[in-house]
Homo-oligomer: A and B are copies of this chain.
Amino acid sequence: MQVTTYDLKKISEKLGLSLKDINKAFKKKILREGEYRDTRTLLFKKNFKHIEKGTVIFLNENLDIVRGYPKTYRALTLYPTIKKHFIDKVVIEEKLNGYNTRIVKIDNEIYALTRSGYICPFTTKKAKKLLNLEILDDYPNYMLCGEMIGLNNPYTPYYYEEVDKGYENLGFYIFDIKERETNKSLPIRDRIELCEKYNLPYVKPLAIVNKEKADIYIKEIIKELDKKGREGVVLKDPDMDVPPLKYTTHYTQCEDLKSAFTFFFDLGVDFIFSRIVREGFMSFEFRESIEERKQRAKDLGESILLPMIETIEKVARGERVSEDFELIFDSEEDLEEFLEFMRKMKMVIKIKNVKKINTDEGLKIKVLIGKIYNKTNDKIISYLNGTLWE
C-alpha cells in the first residue's frame, strides 16, 4: 500500500497521534484506505488510542476528518447506574432502531457515513433527498448524527409508521450534532434549536428529569415503549458533558433474538448471551412476579427456538435462507452503484426481484435483495446430512 502519497505528518497532528502510532495503525491494519467514487479516504477499522472506530480522513488538501460515532454504553440496571453516571438532569430520548449515520459536507459534496466509516451511496442519496442540508453550508465543521430508519433500508429494515410515504418507508432523525474533527457534541438545546431553524427532523426529548428519580420515570417509559413495540431510550446529559447511556425494551431483546436465530449459525452465538443477561437484570429490577417472569421466559424461549426451527425446516426443504430487504432507487445506475458497494462490503447478496414503480416523484425501481448467510445455510445442510457435532 502507498502510504507516502499524503501528508502523514499533518494527519498525525490533526488526529493528535504520533507518526509512530499512525504507522503502527497501518501495520496492524487498523488504518486502511478506502474510496468512494473519486474520493479517497483513510478509515479506522477499530478504536485506536483516543480515535474512535469509524473515523475517516478525507485525503483532500485539508485532510478533513470525520470522527467515528462513539460507542454508547448500556445501563444494565437503571438504579443506581443513572444516578452514578449523570451530573444532575437527564434527558430521556427515544432510541430508534435503524442505523447510525453521520452526514457531512466536504469539498462541497454531501457524504453519509455508516457507523463503520463507509460512505454509503444509498444513504448518501437518501440523505440528500430527505433533508435540506443548508446547515452544513453554514456549519461545515459539523456532522449531523442520526438514525436512518424504516423498512426500506439495507441494514436494519424495520417498519416505522412515522416515516411511511406509501411507496417507501424511510426516514432520518438527528439525535446529535457534533464537531466532526473533535467529536464534541452540541448541548441538546442548541441541537434542537439548529434543527428547528433549518427544518431538520430530530429526536425529541420524551422528558427531562432529575437523575435521582430518573429510574422510576424511565421504568414507566420503558413499559410504554415495550407495549408499542419500540426499541428503548437513550439517556443524555443536557449539555452532553457525560456520554449518553442506552437501555432497551423486552420487546427489542426478543426481536434481536428472533432475527439472530433466523440465521443462528451466523449471528446466534454473539447475540444471545447479552440479550439474556439484559432480561435477567430487567426482570430483577422491575420486581416481577413469578408469572411475569415466566411470561418473559416464554417470550425469550420462543424468540430463540421458533425462528431457528423455521430456518431448519426451510433449509431441509431445499431453500436457501436469506435476509430480505426492499430498496427503492431512482435509476439503474444508482442500483448498480449500491450493489457494487455491497460487494465491496463483502456481503453475499442476491437480487430476488426488480420492478418499476410509479410514484408521485416519478418512475422508480423497487428491488428485493436477499442477504445470504452462508454459514447458517451450509452448516444446517451439513448437520441434516449427518455431520457430527463436536
Q: Which residues of A contact B (CB under 8 A)?
A: 71, 73-77, 80-81, 83-85, 245, 261, 264, 268-269, 272-274, 276-281, 283-284, 288, 293-294, 296-302, 304-306, 308-309, 312-313, 316, 383-390
Chain B residues with CB under 8 Å of A300's CB are 301, 304-305
A280 and B305 within 8 A (CB):
yes
Q: List 24 A-B contacts (CB under 8 A).
A: A73-B389, A74-B390, A77-B384, A81-B387, A83-B386, A85-B388, A261-B276, A269-B273, A272-B272, A272-B273, A277-B308, A277-B389, A278-B389, A280-B309, A281-B312, A283-B305, A293-B306, A293-B309, A294-B306, A296-B305, A297-B302, A298-B298, A298-B301, A301-B302
- Given A288-B309, A301-B301, 15 new contacts (CB under 8 A): A71-B390, A73-B390, A74-B390, A76-B389, A77-B383, A80-B386, A269-B273, A280-B309, A283-B309, A284-B309, A293-B309, A294-B298, A297-B306, A300-B301, A301-B304
A388 nearest CB across to chain B (Å): 4
CA distance A265 to B335 in the complex (A): 46
CA distance A80 to B385 in the complex (A): 6
Contact A293 to B312, CB < 8 A, known contacts A385-B80, A386-B84, A390-B74 = no
Chain B residues with CB under 8 Å of A75's CB are 386, 388-389
CA distance A269 to B275 in the complex (A): 11
From the candidates B293, B304, B312, name the one contacting A297 in the complex (CB within 8 A).
Answer: B304
Chain B residues with CB under 8 Å of A301's CB are 296-302, 304
- Mostly, the A contact residues are helix
From the candidates B77, B268, B313, B389, name the one contacting A276 in the complex (CB within 8 A).
Answer: B268
Chain B residues with CB under 8 Å of A387's CB are 76, 81
A313 and B284 within 8 A (CB):
yes
Chain B residues with CB under 8 Å of A264's CB are 276-277, 280
Chain B residues with CB under 8 Å of A312's CB are 280-281, 284
From the candidates B74, B283, B302, B386, name the one contacting A388 in the complex (CB within 8 A).
Answer: B74
From the candidates B269, B309, B388, name the one contacting A73 in the complex (CB within 8 A).
Answer: B388
